[in-house]
Amino acid sequence: MIYAFILVPAAFVILMSFHPAVIPTFPPPSVTFKWYIELARDIRLVKAVSNSLIVGISATILAGIIGTMTSIGLVRYRFRGRETLSALVIAPMVFPEIILGASLLTFMLRILALPLSRYSYLYMIVGHTVFILPYVIMNVHARVYGLDRSLEEAAMNLGANPVQTFGQVTLPLILPSILSGMLLAFAMSLDDYTASQFWVMPQTETIPVRIFSALRTELPPTINALATLLILTTLLLFYLQVMVSRRVSLRTGR
């Protein structure tokens, strides 16, 4: 019902990516694949894809590590100010990204004196990590919270030290959640424009940046083709995420 409302427009992009003419009209007169071929030849777009991957994967890995550690610390230990800190870490999710983009730019440029032209990738990775971190944390947190301690205690009782316990008992148990969070985080990074616009240079343009600037000028059908591919990719990510989450449930029977 409402669901259709949310998704139908997206279906249109996919539709239009097959449209032959340059300016799409509805309904499309015929179907063609030629824009996809054009896509592969467009150097700027190919570069955008690789940039998105570079930034996305780096940020996701970084967020995965930091997020997991933070999550575990927040769940397992009690200390003063825990609530405040957990709110703090989730904050990037509620905060308008525009502020993140603008202030990080200001900060890194003025205080850290890192010229954008040379450090654009750094800006991007650092910045993306900040706003995708909450996604990892939320996923891992739920899992760690409900984890049955007796397994770890059993390991300790059998003589394993804390490091071994973590590596061989805890980590495998929470790994699906970490992956699940990372997949979501990656999807978020892939789609970001609002914050990224402050940190990109022409060479470090990512997919959303490229799409957005295309919207400003013309709307070449190749963009639709790119968009469709992006949708398919994220659908794949989503599918993976669901599969991973299922494994979690099956393992613990919850």
Partner 1 sequence: MDPDPPNRQSPLDKGSGEYRVGILGKTAKLGPVLLVGLGVSYVSVFLFIPIIFTAVLSLEGASYQHIFTTELYRNILLRSLRVAVEVSVLSLVLGYPVAYYLAKLTSMRRETVVVLLMFPLFVSFLIRTYSWFYVIGSRGLVNYILLTLGLIESPIKFLFTEGAVVLGLVNWSLPLMILPIYSAVEKMDNNLIEMSKNLGANEISTFRQVTFPLSLPGVASGVMLVFILSFGAYITPAILGGPEQAMIANLISALYLVMFDWPLGTAMSVILAVITLAIVYLYNKIIGLNRLLEAMG
* Window 163-182: residues binding partner 1 (CB under 8 A): 163, 165-166, 170
CB of residue 202 to partner 1, shortest distance in Å: 13
Site residue total, partner 1 (CB under 8 A): 106
CB of residue 169 to partner 1, shortest distance in Å: 10
CB of residue 84 to partner 1, shortest distance in Å: 9
From 34-42, 43-51, 53-61, 108-116, span contacting partner 1 (CB under 8 A): 108-116
From 29-37, 43-51, 113-121, 229-237, span contacting partner 1 (CB under 8 A): 229-237
- Cβ count within 10 A of residue 177: 25
| DSSP line for the chain | -HHHHHHHHHHHHHHHTT--SSS--SS-S----HHHHHHHH-HHHHHHHHHHHHHHHHHHHHHHHHHHHHHHHHHH---TTHHHHHHHHHHHHHS-HHHHHHHHHHHHHHTS---HHHHHHHHHHHHHHHHHHHHHHHHHHHHHHT--HHHHHHHHHTT--HHHHIIIIIHHHHHHHHHHHHHHHHHHHHH--TTGGGT--GGG--HHHHHHHHHHS---HHHHHHHHHHHHHHHHHHHHHHHHHHHHHHHHT-
- Map the footprint of partner 1 across residues 30-59, applying CB under 8 A: none
Q: Which is nearer to partner 1, 77 or 113 (CB)?
A: 77
Burial class (CB in 10 A: 0-12, 13-18, 19+), 181: buried
Draw the binding track, 195-214, toward partner 1 (x: CB under 8 A; -: no contact): --xx---------x--xx--
Q: Which is nearer to partner 1, 38 or 86 (CB)?
A: 86
Q: Which is nearer to partner 1, 6 or 43 (CB)?
A: 6
Q: Which is nearer to partner 1, 39 or 190 (CB)?
A: 190
CB of residue 40 to partner 1, shortest distance in Å: 19
In the structure encoding, which two tokens stand for residue 215, read together?
């919207």
CB of residue 45 to partner 1, shortest distance in Å: 14
**Is residue 160 a contact residue for partner 1 (CB under 8 A)?**
no
Q: 55, 60, 132: which is closest to 89 by C-alpha?
A: 132
**Residue of the chain from 16, 59, 182, 185 that contacts partner 1 (CB under 8 A):** 16
**Residue of the chain from 48, 173, 187, 225 that contacts partner 1 (CB under 8 A):** 187
CB of residue 251 to partner 1, shortest distance in Å: 14
In the structure encoding, which two tokens stand for residue 136, read together?
């990892």
- Map the footprint of partner 1 across residues 114-153, applying CB under 8 A: 126-127, 129-130, 133, 137-139, 141-142, 145-149, 152-153
